[in-house]
Amino acid sequence: MKIKSFRDIFKVLLFVSLSFQSLHAISADYYKDKFKITKKLYLGAIMSNNKEKEIEYLKKIIRYGDKININTLKYKRELNRLDKTTSVHKPVKTKFVVKEKFTIKSIKQTKNSIVIDFYNSINKNFLKFSEDKTKIYHYDYFDIKGSYKYTKPTKLYFKAVNKTIIKQTGKKNIRISLRSKKNPKTIYIINKKQIIIKILDTPTKSKKYKAKNIKEKVKLLPSNLLETSNKVIVIDPGHGGKDPGAVGKNRRYEKNIVLNISKYVKKELSRKGFKVYLTRSKDKYIKLSNRTKLANRKNAHIFVSIHVNAARKSRANKAHGIESYFLSPARSARAKKVAAKENKGDMNSMGWSSKNSLLTILNRSKITASNKMAIDIQKNMLFTLRGKYGKKTIRDGGVREGPFWVLIGAQMPSVLIEVGYISHYKEGKRINTTSYQKLIAKGIAKGIESYFIKN
């Protein structure tokens, strides 16, 4: 081809430019397809608990995502987490580092201990212990490297110590001081991300002193140091609005029953000091994906979805009892049937790949924690209900696995509870009563409290 004029040069440049754009578009589409396919393979690896494949596909997702300018930070975080627990792989270095403004996550008071939890790993150099003595008092000082959001200073109360104060003495240092007329016997334990200060001697006090001390404790102890108040719980009353859920005799709707129970659960947990949110507080339709989005936005520690079960007409008089489920591939036909019922609504129009896209990072630790929580809730519901209705009346449906899409988006341990069968002639009538709803709410709240105590 001979170039004779500027017009010819312009045509050549235009041709090259268009060819480059076309190749770039083809390349972008290629990597988009690769990204989507690899994401599905990665989710399959998660569900089959294949850690090596998870790592392999995560690396590919990150590579393809970077090619098409998709934010892959969450995948990089998960890859780093997996690499730390798998010795055959080296940790991935990434410029995306999550930095916390405060280095101390929480400070909690137990019966005879102060527990300091850190965001990152610590060592013995993080704590310096010293003692002092005056004519009247003995002092133990614990100087700890770290910064905490709620230190103002704060006063704590222990039987063996006259006065305990926690205060921030600098930008990167807090001091815990113990004052006592007798030299206090204290020890400290330094774990990977935790310091525990234990006060060993607990002398008995008179009844008059105890009553005064308890009154002062309730008045002065900040809520952020109570064991329950830093726990955020989201309770999800299933269905609502245009989605009535299961329907029993005399137009008993699942959506109304579970809303009442959820409100009672919130009341019970709030009384115990927990911070509780409901996904809905009235008869309103909410998409399944938006329910867990609220839990993620509130940084909830756990997510509990409450439902009522139902059976087909041929089994309506036989099927009864309470059941608890946690998210995992369903292994039983019964679990699959229950999941199919609860997965109706706005998920019906979604294909398999669309549903899988909700499952971003589901790791073994979350499944294990969800399983533990389901066991605690199930046990306490049974115990509370059987106290009134008897063991034969309240059937144990067990703790089961199931692919419930309402739980998939939750970034924390989550369970789905079936509080009884609305289709059963006796149980359906019972679960519509205030007394049953309050009792089962009490059992759920006790189960949640038991889960946090154990974990």
What is the SS3 assignment for the chain? CCCCCHHHHHHHHHHHHHHHHHHHHHHHHHHHHHHHHHHHHHHHHHHCCCHHHHHHHHHHHHHHHHHCCCCCHHHHHHHHHHHHHCCCCCCCCCCCCCCCCCCEEEEEECCCEEEEEECCCCCHHHEEEEEEECCCCEEEEEEEECCCCCCCCEEEEECCEEEEEEEEEECCEEEEEEEECCCCCEEEEECCCEEEEEECCCCCCCHHHHHHHHHHHHHHCCHHHCCCCCCEEEEEECCECCECCCECHHHCEHHHHHHHHHHHHHHHHHHCCCEEEECCCCCCCCCHHHHHHHHHHCCCCEEEEEEEECCCHHHCCCCCCEEEEEECCCCCHHHHHHHHHHCCCCCCCCCHHHHHHHCCCCCHHHHHHHHHHHHHHHHHHHHHHHHHHCCCCCCEEEEEEECCHHHHCCCCCEEEEEEEECCCCCHHHHCCCHHHHHHHHHHHHHHHHHHHHHC
In CATH, the architecture of 104-220 is Sandwich (2.60)
Q: What is the average per-residue pLDDT within 195-202?
A: 77
pLDDT digits (tens, 9 = 90+) for 373-382: 999 999 999 9
Can you give the length of the chain in residues? 455
CA distance 425 to 62: 54
The alpha carbon of 172 is separated from its chain's Cα centroid by a whole number of angstroms, namely 29
Q: CA angle 294-295-298, nearest 5°?
A: 85
pTM for this model (two decimals): 0.51
Between the CA of residue 147 and those of 123, 167, 173, what are the distances in Å? 16, 10, 6
Confidence class for position 84, pLDDT limits 50, 70, 90: low
Between the CA of residue 309 and those of 259, 339, 389, what are the distances in Å? 14, 10, 19
Supply 254's token pair: 């699942």
Domain borders along the chain are 6-85, 104-220, 232-454
Confidence class for position 98, pLDDT limits 50, 70, 90: very low
pLDDT digits (tens, 9 = 90+) for 380-426: 999 999 999 998 999 999 998 876 767 777 778 999 999 999 999 99
Supply 424's token pair: 């059963």
pLDDT digits (tens, 9 = 90+) for 246-292: 999 888 999 999 999 999 999 999 988 899 999 999 999 998 878 88
Supply 197's token pair: 């200060």
Compute the chain's Rg from CA coordinates: 28
Domain 232-454: top CATH class: alpha beta
**Phi and psi of 418, rounded to 5°?**
-105, 110
Q: Which of 173-177, 197-201, 250-254, 392-396 has the lowest mean pLDDT?
A: 197-201
